[in-house]
Amino acid sequence: MPEHPLASPLLAGDRRALARAITLTESTRPDHEAEAQALLSELLPHTGRSIRVGLTGVPGVGKSTLIEALGLHLADGGHRVAVLAVDPSSARTGGSIMGDKTRMPRLTVHPGAYIRPSPSRGTLGGVARRTREAILLCEAAGYDVVLVETVGVGQSETQVAAMTDLFVLLTLPNAGDELQGIKRGIMELADLCVVNKADTDPKAATRAQTELTAALRLLTPRGAPWRPRALQASAVTGAGIPELWAAVGAYREAVDIAARRREQTGAWFDDLLREAAWRAFQAGLDPARLRELRGEVLAGRLTPVQGVGTLLSPVPT
């Protein structure tokens, strides 16, 4: 099989080759898609050798500064750090994770780091798929830490948790009051909770940490290989950053990451197949009739079983 021209430079760690390869996977042109899959296929044996860390938190929690602080700590320690983002809103608004170079000015210029904004096209599913592929490309380029940030729009946290080895929820010191609008279901995804900006109110930060610890204990099934932890950190002072990385290390020791990845890959395969099934099926449906019957069901005039049955039965002539 002829080698793709980007393969060699990318494997050698060339950032421009990596950037061009990611751009190729983001293209929706059918010839680009085929080319991207061929390139990925070639690089697949060189992937998987990073720790994939997902991070989320509501706006204002200090995601960028914390990711920059963690990234600098790691890059200064000899790691090669890639930062990716999943922001499905960027398709509509041009991106709420904008100007990544401005957001993380010091990490951007660090030779050991690579920062890539969210793909700005497509549905959440499309953005998630492209981010999964970007993870693989970063790994092939030799990045051994991949940080995937999500802005927490819609289902993006679930998607990011499903493509990373561990998932970190960032909160603020006054988290105990109401957790600032964290969505239902997000706490349950967290392997680590970090009370960020702990320096702004140390007493509140300690209280938040205690409450989060109790909540995480309640949420963790007995016998789980990993008990989620709550930590404190401050991106500004740097406090807690080494401890955060140490917790990631403890997690890697405790959890069978290869098994988790196999499960994620299988689930991704199954999702793609179900999506294909749905698209094929939808092509044969009359949208007006679908709307009408769904309306009848919502109005309580048909049960859902009857509505679906009527929709799928041949139209009487």
**In which region does residue 260 sit, left (phi positive, over 0), alpha (psi from -120 to 50) or beta (all else)?**
alpha
Q: Does 314 bind its own copies (CB under 8 A)?
A: no
Which residue, 99 or 266, has its beta carbon nearer to its own copies?
A: 266
Nearest Cα neighbor of 59 from 186, 150, 195, 159 is 150
Cβ-contact 156, 150 below 8 angstroms: yes
Q: Does 39 bind its own copies (CB under 8 A)?
A: no
Show contacts with its own copies in window 170-199 (CB under 8 A).
175-176, 178-185, 187-188
Q: Where are the beta strands (DSSP E) in 69-165?
A: 81-86, 113-115, 145-150
Instruction: Output the smallest distance, CB 171 to its own copies, in A.
Output: 9
C-alpha 194/C-alpha 43 separation (Å) is 34
Q: Does 12 bind its own copies (CB under 8 A)?
A: no
Q: Does 49 bind its own copies (CB under 8 A)?
A: no
How many residues does this entry show for the chain?
Answer: 317
C-alpha 265/C-alpha 59 separation (Å) is 30
List of residues 6+ apart from 210 with CB closer than 8 A? 230
Instruction: Output the smallest distance, CB 14 to its own copies, in A.
Output: 22
Q: Does 129 bind its own copies (CB under 8 A)?
A: yes
Q: Does 266 bind its own copies (CB under 8 A)?
A: yes
C-alpha 54/C-alpha 149 separation (Å) is 6
Q: Does 123 bind its own copies (CB under 8 A)?
A: no
Among 90-98, 120-128, 217-225, 245-253, which window interacts with its own copies (CB under 8 A)? 217-225
Site residue total, its own copies (CB under 8 A):
62
Q: Does 237 bind its own copies (CB under 8 A)?
A: no
Cβ-contact 116, 22 below 8 angstroms: yes
Q: Does 10 bind its own copies (CB under 8 A)?
A: no
C-alpha 199/C-alpha 62 separation (Å) is 13
C-alpha 169/C-alpha 234 separation (Å) is 14
Q: Does 99 bind its own copies (CB under 8 A)?
A: no
List of residues 6+ apart from 134 with CB closer than 8 A? 22, 25, 84, 116, 119
Among 36-44, 71-79, 114-122, 240-248, which window interacts with its own copies (CB under 8 A)? 36-44
Which residue, 83 or 128, has its beta carbon nearer to its own copies?
A: 128
Instruction: Output the smallest distance, CB 116 to its own copies, in A.
Output: 19
The site for its own copies (CB under 8 A) is made up of 37, 40-41, 44-45, 47-48, 129, 133, 136, 175-176, 178-185, 187-188, 211-212, 214-215, 217-223, 262, 265-266, 268-269, 272-274, 276-278, 280-282, 294, 297-298, 300-309, 311-312
